[in-house]
Structure 1
Amino acid sequence: MGGLLMFTLAIITCLFWLFVLVDATLGMRRLPMLQKVVEDDVLIKKGPLISIIVAAKNEETDIEASLRSQLKQTYKNIEWIVVNDRSTDKTGAIIDNLAKEDDRITPVHIKDLPDAWLGKNHALYTGYRKAKGDYLLFTDGDIYFHKDVIAKSLTFFQNNKIDHLTLTPNMNVTSFWTKAFVTFFLFGFSYFKRPWKANDDKSKVAIGIGAFNLLSREAYEAIGTHRKIAMRPDDDLMLGVTIKQNGRKQRVANAIPYLEVAWYRSLKEAIIGLEKNTFAGLFYSYFMVLFSISGIFISQIWPFVALFVTEGATRFLYGVVILLLFFVYQQTANVMAKGALKYFVVFPISSLIFMYCIARATILTTIRGGIVWRGTFYPLHQLKKDLHK
């Protein structure tokens, strides 16, 4: 009986990853590449004002280099609203100094956080209220821009007559285990979120990536601005979701050569950083947590274990599963991150680490009664209330 159960599970797992492989292979091929966009010269010279709104809290390590990369854009009709969100380091001073060098920068300093707001969401909303542009680009204080990224993005935006464009950046991570974890995260994000479906106007799938969320002002105001998602720690994703829910057109494009983020510098930072949105991404549901952890174990860890504890046809099928996992990884993580494929050698360990992240975030959020994000505590009852807006 046990052997039959294992054999049946192996068949189901094999079929699941075969479906994912076909879906991901076809889907990733349909994902637009920003590098293939030819800039509209007329648009570059006479295009509309774009307001780049940067939220920064304790970003003294990256904020200056990030902003200097943005200031080099070939597209010139840009203003920067750089919001210093209650920083306790030199972030505010760095922003002020850059504003003295370039009058396109408007510094905004937030001293206090109003009730019923997450810090970053409030910072971006505050920046919007200062912005004059017909287009709004929301980004973080540690993103590095290639000089053509705005020109290509606006050309793509107008050519496709859309309301929202989000770009996938290159994750600039150096340490082995951090890179392994990041590439596994991209693998999971790809097969679970299926970003290519966000480009299907008939699909409910939606994507928003914090490194680059470009919207028309009209669309942003129509969906309720960041007020609509004031208490969502996964604000970038929810911005995209809200766009789709309101019947607006959204596109996601691969921009690895044009956009870079120093996401997390260590594995510890990555695990701590995911505290805020891992449980939120599962709708603060303990059932979803259990389902996710069980699903990861059965589909991504057990096949490797099964090679040593099963035999015959069952062992062969699990060998096929591992091969399918490799090809899915190749079609997802390896497309979204440079040199990701070599980290497949520690795939089972990366899976365990991610399971630990989910469990850790859930337990800590439950014990604390909320999340701690960049030094501010947000109660769970308030976070859950925002789910139903």
Structure 2
Amino acid sequence: MKETKPQLQNPISQPPAPISILVTGGAGFIGSNFIHYMIKAHPNYIIINLDKLTYAGNLENLKDINRMDAGFKEQDLVGGGFENKIQNLKHQIQYPISDIQQSTRYHFVKGDIANTELVDYIFERFKPNYVVNFAAESHVDRSIENPKIFLETNVIGTQVLLDVAKKHWLASGKWKEGVKFVQISTDEVYGSLGPQGYFTEKTPLDPHSPYSASKAAADLITKAYFDTFDMPINITRCSNNYGPYQFPEKLIPLMINNALHHKKIPVYGDGKQIRDWLYVEDHCRAIDLVMQKGRIGEVYNIGGHNEMENIQIVNKICSILDELYPISKNPTSNMQHPTLKSYKQLISFVADRPGHDRRYGIDATKIHEELGWQPLVDFDEGIKKTVEWYLNNQEWMDRVTSGEYMKYYERMYSWR
């Protein structure tokens, strides 16, 4: 009689596979803040940061996290069916030079989201459960000057990400469990509001600049993958963000930087354009919730309930600077502007931008009712924290505006 092996009553279960997130554009303003937030909020998650490092992508935004990057080793690339890709991809992967403690929680890859082969390699290598797509050309003035690059990154790049995700997540007509593509969009896709009313998720898209048109196109191609293939996706549309690490071409850091250097503070038109402002960490919390709990296929508006005219924002920044860093404390003040008493004297009204939307306002009822999210940082608190951050990080601002941050990138990573 054949002897049978006893069955274990309580077999030891294997630990669940770690959650892996591909964050595109993670060296930019919101993307880097999101990575900081996720590293703290989810200690077991693995973050893969894919960023092309254009002018607004700055690895100094992730200086402390970069030290965790175990990087790509040659032996990691060989085996597992990747041998044929090494030579093609080798010149696109960056390798950190660091003797600081290594970790596998964070990986940085320099590259373009429109590079299908590179994105496919990342999916094979890291098997991400989520894609959170921040990667975008995002400055309206630049889109007016050169619309083409906005279409290439914002539209074609998004389509490449969707297509590669579909390839790896869809098998035999079924989507893998626990995967999702989150498209990070903007309230600018809705166009402009009159004095009353708010944008809801049902508001028709009506973009007015090449930038917002490219983002609307990316939203629609993302929605098409849900409608056509049942792909698990969400789209978030957020109001204006502010906070640390924002590139100083945007309103708030530009005003701060110009004021500190006693340059004119340019205000478009009459300065009465109205925007809804949200502290960036509140935005990151919202994205995390949507990623994990958002209903598949849904759009979620994210707003700060802080509508203000641009000129009000500028005046508030000047008042905070007058309080925290008065002109009398600046050693160059008397030489440059001996009669300057307040930063408000630097305000200068300039010709308005073409197609400048008059008002944006977000109705965030849906995300509040479905996911329980609401902003925690009110504007007065957030703007003071933001000004203080830039005052305490003037070297960061100087390097960003002078291109010095690219030298940091070269110090941290070298080609192989």
> By percentage of residues, which structure has more helix?
1
Greater gyration radius: 2
TM-score by length of 2: 0.29
Higher relative contact order (CA 8 A, sep 6+): 1
